[in-house]
Each structure stands twice: as structure tokens, then as C-alpha cells.
A and B are shown apart, each in its own frame.
Chain A
């Protein structure tokens, strides 16, 4: 989890630098440039989520089985991640690209990641076969691990000319992969949220309820088949687009469930609000509601044609990775580190201020991207379009707002991460 938090801190720095390019076009152009800064930001934040998800699986299993899971293989797995991270960052700094969007590094560095993931799968199977009557979160962790590995390998099918020579199929597979990869880590993180709720409420029935399993399978169907909504405009086979549309609409079930259980959530908030992990889980729930509402609307083709290719898509991606994934990961860090806030009142105050600064900045960040997206959408649909660069100039006020809100997010995340890292280091030092 410490490696994951360090990746978050790096990702925030690169993100701020990359966003300057939207305001000052010539910024660092001749040194590192946007072509390096963007992947540096994206990869760092992706690794925060993926390595964090790995940490959640190990820490969760350790708490569930009450056994220490640190062994030679977990250290090798960590070593492989470190090799991959150093290699990937180096390749970005020397402009040695070669991969696809979000995985732009030289494909050679995908090997240590795949190996690390295989070790995770083997370790997970070794531990989980000894557990009887799996709660839903063990199913979700297994699903996330298997599907991440499958889609990560699928992500490199383009190396075969057979796929690369057929552009439309190649793009279809690329977005099938992107959709399913997000679904995979969401399975791990939502599973972690279930695990945390079971622990917080000290109620082992939540993770074994029929409703929890129904939601898991619906999530799994979405992981497998709903990615088609990314490519409505791509002239691929019609059945792919229709399956994507139909399955995306099943998300209404999740959405309606959130509204239906709202009252229950409010009474739980009053009961557990003092717990940091619960606070972050609740924030994630709220962002699930906002982002799912947006995702459902964007999955309707007649609306998608207006939002596709605009910053509304970025708002959705940022809203989910920051608002949902990162909130769950912070909830997990507080719980797994055993941080109860007993240190001092000033630290409790810092956490509280950072929490609200984060939520407030994220709202502004999300709104400014949506506004930029609406403006771009109007331009895209206009019969008398100005040039692309002129249109981008009109978006500057939104980019400036997005940049300022980004600084707020960076500050809040950095304070929270430093508090957690410091607590972890001091706790381990006193143990030794």
C-alpha cells in the first residue's frame, strides 16, 4: 500500500505538470513534452489503483484468514512491480513509447507486470481454496484478478499483424480491453468495499446476502459485455454495439438500488461517521451515484453522439478514478493500517480538512471538465466550425478552473498520503 501511495503522489505531480500544457501550449515542449507527461501521469495513477488493489487483496485475506501472507513470492511480486515502474518511467523520459493509450510504454515492460499478476493469482488460489463458503468479496477478488490477467494479455494482441492489419477489429479489441480492465480493478475495489463494510458493521451477513451476489453477477456481466458503449461511432459489427448498449442499460439496476437504500445509508452515516474508513466509503458511494448516472446517460447512443470525444468522457474517467477508486483505496488504507485517529486532535483536524477539500475540489474539477466538454460538443455539432485551436482557446477558463481544482485535489491527497505513510513507518518502527 505504501508503494501505491507513492505512485499516487508521483501521479499527482505529473498530472499538474501535464495540465499546464492546456494553459501554456509551449510548456516543457522541448524538454519532456505532453507526450511524456500524460503517460507519466496516467501510468502513475493506474499503478496507484492496481498496486493498491493488490494490497487490498493481500491485506483483506490476511485479516480474513488471520495468517501472515508475506513470503518470498510476495517479495518477488513487489520486486517485479518495482522493475516495471522504473523501466516504464525511464522509457517515458527517453520517449521510448510503443504501447497503446493508457499503456504507452515499450511493451517489454508489460512482462514484469504480467508475471507479478500471475504470482498474485497463484497466491490467491493457494489461500482461497482453504476458505469454505466464500463471501461475495472473495468472488469479486478472484474475478478481478483473473479478468485483469486475461485482458492485460489481450491488450497486446496488436503485436500480431493478423489483428493490427484490420484497423476496426484492432480498435474494437483495444476498447474491449480498456472497458474490461476497468471492470476488473473495480471488482477488486468494490469487493474491498464489501469487506470493509462487513468489518465496520461487524456483520458477516452483508457479504453473503443474495442481493450482494446478484449485484456481483450483474457487475460481472457488465465487465464482460458493456464495453461496446465506448465505440458506438466505430464502424464495427452491429451486434457488438447493440450488446454494449443493452448491457449498459442494466446499470439502471445499480442506480435504482442506490436510491432505494439511500435512507438506510443516511442512518449508517450517523452511526459510523467517526470512522475514517467509513467516511471514505460513503464518499465513494456518493461518487458512484454521480458517475453511474452520468455513465448511464453516456451509454444511450443518442446522447453518446454528443458526449463522445469530448471532455465529458474525461470528467467521467476522472470522477471514477478519483471519486470512487481512490476513495475506496483510502478507506482501505485507514482500515488496513489500523489508523483510528487516536494520535492527536491536530491530525484528526488535518484529515477532516483534507477530506472536505478533496470532495469540494473534485466537484469543481468534475464540473469544469463537463463544461469544457459541453462547449466542445457544441463546436463538434456546429455546421460552421471554427478551427480546432480556436475552439480550444475558448475552453481556457474551464481549463484554468480545472487546474486550480487539480491543485486542491493534489494538496488534499498529499496530506492524507503523508499522514498514512508517516503512521505506517512509525508503527512498524515501534514494532521492531
Chain B
């Protein structure tokens, strides 16, 4: 059987588009009854980008390697909001002090609060399921 490359190419492109739009539609069914200010957290994401926090820090293990992962820094009993604010303003070792205004700092804190509410990133909290996939260990 001879397959026409153009037909297969178009079919695959169509599947890719359907898959992409399926992903784009996820927020439509998302729960908006959350413990943080969605708008402020979204502004905080911009502050995160504008100060290039991602070059040193990770969220869910994705990002830079110079500083620690900040996914659950907000709920960490030894860190939390006060430490976040102090670190931003005073800096530490490689990290410079960031001259942010109160609005930016509170947006950034709200963003980290929203990230924290989305799940846990500590790899020790994961287990391998029978399907071979990993998932959060509910017991921990």
C-alpha cells in the first residue's frame, strides 16, 4: 500500500491542532473557587517573569538550578510569606536584592501562593503506579 506523504502530513497536523485546542480549553472547566486572588496571582506571574526569577528558581522542577525550587515555599513552615518578602528585599549570596514596590511584592507572593495551592513538587511525595506513571502519594 502506497501512502501519500501529503495526506499523512495533513492528518497528523489536524490531530495536533485538535490536541492543542483540547489543552487550550482546559481553563474553561477549571474550578475558580480558590483560596487565592486569581487576578493578583496572574499579575504576580508577570512580576516573576519581569525579574527573571526562572533563571535561578524552579517551579515543579522546571527552571534554573542556582536557587531552590519554590513550588511549595509558601506553605513551608520554615519559610512562608515573611521569608519570601525578606529574601526579595535583601537578597542572599548569588541572589541580588530586588527593589520591588509593595504592589509587585504582594502580587509575587500571591502567585507563589497560587502555585503552592496547585500541588506538591517534592519528588519524595510521588509513587509509581501499576501503569508505570508517577503520581502524588496521597498518604504523605
Given A166-B30, A169-B27, A308-B61, are A245 and B132 neighbors across the interface (CB < 8 Å)? yes
- B118 CB-CB contact with A under 8 Å: yes
- B128 CB-CB contact with A under 8 Å: yes
- B107 CB-CB contact with A under 8 Å: no
Picked from B39, B52, B62, the residue with its CB within 8 Å of the CB of A230 is B62
Secondary structure call for the A interface:
helix
Are A164 and B45 interface neighbours, CB within 8 A?
yes
Picked from B8, B26, B60, B63, the residue with its CB within 8 Å of the CB of A231 is B60
State A22–B136 Cα separation when bound (angstroms): 32
Q: Which residues of B are at the interface with A, using a C-beta cutoff of 8 A? A: 5, 8-9, 12, 15-16, 19-20, 23-24, 26-27, 30, 38-39, 41-42, 45-46, 49-52, 54-56, 58-69, 93-94, 96, 114-115, 118-119, 121-124, 126, 128, 131-134, 136
Q: Which residues of chain A have C-beta atoms less than 8 A from B56's C-beta?
A: 34-35
A-B contact count (CB 8 A): 167
8 Å CB interface, A232-274 against B: 232-235, 237-238, 240-243, 245
Are B49 and A98 interface neighbours, CB within 8 A?
yes
Q: Which residues of chain A have C-beta atoms less than 8 A from B128's C-beta?
A: 301-302, 305
- A397 CB-CB contact with B under 8 Å: no
Are A235 and B118 interface neighbours, CB within 8 A?
yes
Number of chain A residues close to chain B: CB under 8 A:
76
Are B93 and A165 interface neighbours, CB within 8 A?
no
Q: Which residues of chain B have C-beta atoms less than 8 A from A39's C-beta?
A: 52, 55
- A29 CB-CB contact with B under 8 Å: yes
8 Å CB interface, A95-139 against B: 95, 97-101, 104, 134, 139
The 7 closest A-B pairs by CB, nearest first: A309-B61, A166-B27, A235-B119, A388-B68, A97-B52, A224-B16, A25-B94
Of the candidates B5, B52, B115, the one having the most CB atoms from chain A within 10 angstroms of its own CB is: B52
- A75 CB-CB contact with B under 8 Å: no
Are A21 and B66 interface neighbours, CB within 8 A?
yes
A–B Cβ pairs within 8 angstroms, 6 of them: A101-B64, A164-B45, A176-B20, A220-B9, A301-B128, A305-B126
Are B52 and A213 interface neighbours, CB within 8 A?
no
State A375–B115 Cα separation when bound (angstroms): 27
Q: Which residues of chain B have C-beta atoms less than 8 A from A389's C-beta?
A: 93
Are A38 and B23 interface neighbours, CB within 8 A?
no
State A157–B68 Cα separation when bound (angstroms): 27
**CB nearest neighbor in A for B53:** A35
Are B67 and A38 interface neighbours, CB within 8 A?
no
Are A34 and B123 interface neighbours, CB within 8 A?
no
Are A154 and B61 interface neighbours, CB within 8 A?
no
Chain B proximity mask over A155-181: 1 for CB below 8 Å, otherwise 0:
001100111111111111111100000
